[in-house]
Amino acid sequence: MDNVLIIGAGAAGSVTAQKCAMNRDVFKKIHLASRRIASCEAVAKRCKTPIDISQVDADDVSATVKLIKKVKPDLLINMALPYQDLPIMDACLEAGVHYMDTANYEPRDEAKFTYKWQWPYHKKYKDAGIMAVLGCGFDPGQSNIYCAYAQEFLLDEIETIDIIDCNAGSHGKSFATNFNPEINLREVTQRGKYWKDGKWIEIDPLTISCMIDYPEVGPVKSYLIYHEEEESLVKHIKGLKQIRFWMTFSDNYIKHLDVLQSVGMTRIDPVMYKGNPVIPMEFLKELLPAPSSLGKGYTGKTSIGCIVRGKKGGKNKIYLIYNVCDHTHCYKETGAQAVSYTTGVPPVVGAMMMFKGHWQGKGVFNVEQLPSKPFMDEIGKQGLPWHVKEIKTADQADLFKVRT
Do 72 and 198 reside in the same domain of the chain?
A: no
Do 174 and 205 reside in the same domain of the chain?
A: yes
Do 236 and 305 reside in the same domain of the chain?
A: yes
What per-residue confidence (pLDDT) applies to 178?
67
Burial of 375 (0-12, 13-18, 19+ CB in 10 A): buried
Do 96 and 49 reside in the same domain of the chain?
A: yes
Q: E strands within 252-314?
A: 271-273, 276-278, 301-312
Do 253 and 345 reside in the same domain of the chain?
A: no
Helices (H) then strands (E): counts for the chain: 14, 18
Kindly report the CATH number assigned to the domain that includes residue 242: 3.30.360.10
Do 146 and 275 reside in the same domain of the chain?
A: yes
Do 51 and 196 reside in the same domain of the chain?
A: no
What per-residue confidence (pLDDT) applies to 256?
84
Do 310 and 248 reside in the same domain of the chain?
A: yes
Do 133 and 182 reside in the same domain of the chain?
A: no
**Alpha-carbon distance values, 111 to 90, 244, 340 (Å):** 22, 19, 22
What per-residue confidence (pLDDT) applies to 179?
65
Kindly report the CATH number assigned to the domain that includes residue 83: 3.40.50.720
Instruction: Write the pLDDT tens digit of every residue in 129-142.
Output: 999 999 999 999 99
Length reported for the chain: 404
Count of domains for the chain? 2
What per-residue confidence (pLDDT) applies to 108?
79
Do 333 and 361 reside in the same domain of the chain?
A: no
For the chain, which residues score pLDDT lower than 70? 111, 178-179
With beta carbons less than 8 A apart as the criterion, state whether 277 and 142 touch.
no
What per-residue confidence (pLDDT) applies to 27?
98
Distance CA(282)–CA(259), nearest Å, equals 17
Do 257 and 172 reside in the same domain of the chain?
A: yes
Q: E strands within 65-156?
A: 75-78, 98-101, 131-134
Distance CA(386)–CA(151), nearest Å, equals 16
Distance CA(190)–CA(141), nearest Å, equals 21
Do 178 and 227 reside in the same domain of the chain?
A: yes
Q: Give the domain extent around 328.
A: 142-338+384-401
Distance CA(328)–CA(372), nearest Å, equals 29
